């Protein structure tokens, strides 16, 4: 009505998801977080010794034939502490940063390798006896933070602390806690996830500054990743961690205007998945993010 103020929430960023639920693009990151949330209710219904226990990675049980534990351990997130919510939020942000850089298919491959390979090695070689246990998205979240931080060496956190320093401190604190608690299995799985993740990310066009990590396959990289890596100088990270994009060009503005006109005429749903991804990229670029 005339004279009445209207308030609208910011539009949810569009992502290249596998499918959509309502207005939500279900990416691999979103799927893992959603399963983590469901696991909380499974824990509440069945208790600590219920179905959620069957999701944990426990090395002796894997050796006894419960192979599925090599895959299911990240989605087991029992709500035993408030930190589990922060873990899921943390994984949501850093996971999407990496997924949008290398693409959903490559990201899914990388997450799968980071999940299965370290747990399989711990099980196969009986490295930790009865302490070979791990669960939760926190392990993969820390590994993804390491990948993103070392892929963006100029990115800084609060108080201009380099993000790679923050990631290194997080890993060190985890290792110290695992050692103190004698959770050697979780420690080896986390360190293994970091190792597998960095090597895989290197194959997919990330971590170009870490030349000591071998690259076994050729890569072309994504256009977005190449644009982001072309910037020089320090970057203040935002929302919660993002690297800078170069200034937009006149061609970018023309392309964005075309997409906005289509949205104005027919709505956001009129855009194809590729157009939504491009709209998101151009919008961030225009805002200088």
Lowest mean pLDDT among 44-58, 126-140, 175-189, 238-252: 238-252
**Tens of pLDDT, residues 4-41:** 434 343 445 667 777 878 777 889 999 999 999 999 99
CATH of region 24-244, choose from 1.20.1540.10, 2.60.120.10, 1.10.10.10, 3.30.590.10? 1.20.1540.10
**Gyration radius (Cα) of the chain, Å:** 21
Look at residue 168 in the predicted model and tell me its pLDDT.
95
Distance between CA 183 and CA 51 in Å, rounded?
22
CB 237 within 8 A of CB 154: no
CB 148 within 8 A of CB 72: no
Residue 173: Cβ within 10 Å count: 11
Binning pLDDT at 50, 70 and 90, where does residue 268 land? Answer: low
Domain residue extents for the chain: 24-244, 247-289
Residue range 94-115: average pLDDT? 94
Look at residue 51 in the predicted model and tell me its pLDDT.
93
* Model confidence, pTM: 0.70
Q: Which residue has the higher pLDDT, 10 or 284?
A: 284
Lowest mean pLDDT among 118-127, 134-143, 267-276: 267-276
Phi first, then psi: what are they for 26, rounded to 5°?
A: -85, 95
Residue 137 DSSP one-character state: T
Residues whose CB falls within 8 Å of the CB of residue 150, separated by 6 or more in sequence, listed in order: 164, 167, 198, 207, 209, 210
């Amino acid at each position: 009505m005339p004279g009445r103020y209207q308030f609208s929430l910011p539009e949810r960023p569009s992502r290249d998801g596998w499918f959509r639920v309502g207005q939500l693009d279900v990416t691999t990151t979103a799927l893992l977080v959603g399963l983590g949330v469901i696991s909380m209710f499974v824990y509440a219904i069945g208790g600590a010794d219920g179905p959620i226990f069957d999701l944990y990675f426990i090395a002796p049980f894997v050796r006894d034939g419960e192979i599925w534990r090599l895959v299911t351990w990240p989605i087991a997130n029992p709500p035993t502490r408030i930190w589990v919510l922060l873990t899921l939020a943390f994984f949501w942000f850093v996971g999407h940063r990496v997924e949008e850089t290398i693409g959903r298919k490559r990201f899914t491959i990388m997450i799968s390798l980071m999940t299965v390979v370290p747990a399989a090695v711990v099980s196969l070689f009986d490295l930790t006896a009865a302490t070979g246990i791990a669960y939760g998205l926190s392990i993969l979240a820390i590994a993804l933070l390491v990948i993103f931080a070392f892929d963006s060496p100029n990115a800084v956190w609060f108080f201009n602390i380099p993000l790679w320093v923050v990631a290194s401190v997080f890993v060190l604190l985890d290792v110290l806690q695992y050692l103190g608690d004698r959770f050697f299995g979780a420690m080896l799985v986390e360190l293994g996830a970091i190792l597998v993740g960095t090597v895989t990310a290197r194959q997919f066009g990330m971590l170009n500054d870490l030349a000591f990590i071998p690259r076994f396959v050729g890569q072309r990289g994504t256009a977005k990743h190449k644009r982001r890596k072309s910037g020089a100088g320090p970057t203040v990270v935002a929302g919660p961690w993002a690297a800078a994009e170069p200034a937009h060009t006149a061609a970018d503005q023309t392309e964005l205007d075309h997409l906005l006109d289509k949205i104005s005429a027919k709505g956001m749903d009129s855009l194809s998945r590729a157009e939504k991804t491009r709209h998101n990229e151009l919008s961030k670029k225009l805002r200088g993010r």
